[in-house]
Copies of this chain bind each other. A is one copy, B any other.
Amino acid sequence: MPYMFISTQIRLNGPTNVGDEYSDPAVMNYLGARKTTMLGNNFSEYHVDDPPRMVLDKLEKIGFRVLTMTGVGQTLVWCLHKEIE
């Protein structure tokens, strides 16, 4: 899984969405993420309470780097990439 997304609602504080139901459990565990299913959704997501800046710092330590960031609606999304060895 070379690509990874994290996202937050407009403010740069947490919580931060760090994964979807197919995300790598080892990375989710490393981040201390909890799997939740929001009311009305038929899919689950992974969240942490940390703000996105701290999540990016943690992800850099295991090889993921920010490629680009964008806003869509009220959501900020970061697209990260890890080079495959």
Contact B69 A20 (CB under 8 A): no
Q: How many copies does the complex hold?
A: 5
Residues of B within 8 A of A70 (CB): 69-72, 76
Contact B20 A53 (CB under 8 A): yes
Contact A53 B4 (CB under 8 A): yes
Q: Does A67 sit within 8 A of B, measured CB to CB?
A: yes
Contact B68 A66 (CB under 8 A): yes
The number of residues on chain A lying at the interface, defined by a beta carbon within 8 Å of a beta carbon of chain B, is 38
Contact B66 A3 (CB under 8 A): yes
Q: Does A16 sit within 8 A of B, measured CB to CB?
A: no
Q: Which of B43, B54, B78 contacts A22, CB < 8 Å? A: B54
The CA-CA distance from A19 to B72 in the complex, in Å, is 21
